[in-house]
Structure 1
Amino acid sequence: MAVTPTIISSRANARVKQLRAAFAGNLRLSEGFVAIEGEHLIEEALRSGITPHVVFVSERREASFRLPEKTEMIVLSESVFTSAAETRSPQGIAALIEPRRYRLDEMMQHPDPLLLIAVGLQDPGNLGTLIRSAEALGAAGVIITSGTVSQWNQKALRASVGSVFRLPVATCTKDEIHSLSSRGVRLLAAVGAANAGVISAQHADLRRGCAILIGNEGSGLSDEWLALATEQITIPCPGPVESLNAAVAGSLLLYEASRQRTTTTLRGPATDMERIPNMQPRRPTGATR
């Protein structure tokens, strides 16, 4: 006979406090664990080789996928689950995972690595989108600087749609980033206007090792970061706009780098056609993914 699990209905329960701290990004109180919410994100974590430490399920919800045997499952009352989750409409299932930690050296294992550096990004949606774009377009990793929102922020997690579980993301100091130049990686500062000395993205050589710097949503890259860069690049915009959204700009530059690195041009008598070799099939994605 199946045993009916005990439903935790106290907000003061130690496990509930741990989940609440993880959702709030308090690694000390969560004992180093990060919270992820929703069946899709948990499935992505499992698919990426991450075993959840514990899964929390609302009393009105059941997990529709198989969990590893060593993963603990805890059932919470609806009100307790809602009190712990950060979203306005909780999905009724969440998990605690141990975040993977990466170092810059791990990204440098790639020949001519393509990197993206987020300098002071504040919008977690932008960071999550850039991490997703970086994985999709073949980057070796994403570097975040001090003052940039955490990749484990709940909105960043959702925007990455699981890419944060697989793509190396590391927090680096300015000195570590500066050292990339001596390791054969050029620092390319993304700027909004084509001033003197600024190179259009399609004319920049993005085949060799390079790291694209994307600045803060409001102020962009400071003079200090611009001085650190090897070159400044921009995305030509024929329309009357001052600048592009940080995630859009970074994604377009990553695409241009990917295009340069992977396309071969077939020339015929009447047309030029670009083909990308070894294209991988993509799963259909919805608006929420």
Structure 2
Amino acid sequence: MTDPQPEPHREASTHGVGPWPGAWPEGDHYDPELLANGDSRNVVDRYRYWRMEAIVADLDTRRHPFHVAIENWQHDMNIGSIVRSANAFLAESVHIIGRKRWNRRGAMVTDRYQHVVHHPDVASFAAWAAKEGLPIIAVDNVGDAVPVDRAELPERCVLLFGQEGPGLTDEALAAASGHIEITQYGSTRSINASAAGAIVMYEWARRYARDA
């Protein structure tokens, strides 16, 4: 699925590309409807005109060996933004702990390309992680947390985030084998949950990610 494609015709709008000019390219990964009508999705040029299923299949060949988990007890709006960041940094999967329904608005449809798994409680999530041999790294500014830039950050791991305000539950903190935090310099005690997610995922990518 890595065959080269001509530079697509770009519309005056900055959003997407118009119909494919000239003879259509060959390949099952192309979507005839998108080729005919244009592709307005927020995808990188590599995936212009591709079927959604083909994009997911190609991403699955390149995903990074870290997972992201989020506690969801209060329908936190930040969950969608964390899912979007997980897609940007090519996480293996995202795990929602607690309420199955979550606010997808912040994901900006990136959840279509990202594997999302639900766990009803912390115990079932921790059991899954143990079975997979994945250490859980809790992100919260608790007493024994190590700044992320100086912390042990395994290549294969689950990065666990809490909710805006209360942070991680005591049960989630106890299930983790490591606790990390983001160094702050201002007056507020905490940092926005979705911003924290992006920072920690970037730090993982800085250490381990392959070139895009």
Which TM-score band (shorter chain)? Answer: 0.5 to 0.7
Looking at structure 2, the residues matched to 230 and 49 of structure 1 have their Cα atoms a distance apart, in angstroms, of: 44
Letter of the 1:215 partner, please give it. Answer: G
Q: Which residue of 2 aligns with 1:234?
A: 181
Deviation at 1:149, TM superposition (A): 4.4
Q: Which residue of 1 aligns with 2:123?
A: 175
Paired residue total: 162
Deviation at 1:240, TM superposition (A): 2.0
Looking at structure 2, the residues matched to 164 and 49 of structure 1 have their Cα atoms a distance apart, in angstroms, of: 20
Match of 1:130 among 77, 82, 93: 82
TM-score by length of 2: 0.64
TM-score by length of 1: 0.49
Letter of the 2:167 partner, please give it. Answer: G
Looking at structure 2, the residues matched to 234 and 226 of structure 1 have their Cα atoms a distance apart, in angstroms, of: 13
Q: Is the 8 A contact 2:64 2:91 kept in 1?
A: no
Percent identical across equivalent pairs? Answer: 26
Q: Which residue of 2 aligns with 1:244?
A: 191
Q: Which residue of 1 aligns with 2:137?
A: 188
Q: Which residue of 2 aligns with 1:115?
A: 67
Aligned-residue Cα RMSD (Å) equals 3.3
Match of 1:214 among 154, 161, 183: 161
- The answer to which structure has the higher strand fraction is 1
Letter of the 2:193 partner, please give it. Answer: A
Letter of the 2:82 partner, please give it. Answer: L
The unaligned stretches of length 5 or more in structure 1 are 1-39, 41-47, 51-63, 68-106, 263-276, 280-289
Match of 2:97 among 145, 149, 174: 145
Equivalent runs, 1:1-289 vs 2, <5 Å: 65=37, 113-120=65-72, 122=74, 125-147=77-99, 149-150=101-102, 153=103, 156-157=104-105, 159-173=106-120, 174-179=122-127, 180-193=129-142, 195=143, 197-262=144-209, 278-279=211-212
Looking at structure 2, the residues matched to 250 and 186 of structure 1 have their Cα atoms a distance apart, in angstroms, of: 17
Looking at structure 2, the residues matched to 183 and 215 of structure 1 have their Cα atoms a distance apart, in angstroms, of: 22
Q: Which runs of 4+ in 1 moved over 3 A?
A: 64-67, 109-112, 121-125
Over 3 Å counting, the alpha-carbon distance change for 1:278 and 1:225 in structure 2 is closer
Q: Which of 1 and 2 has higher RCO (CA within 8 Å, sep 6+)?
A: 2
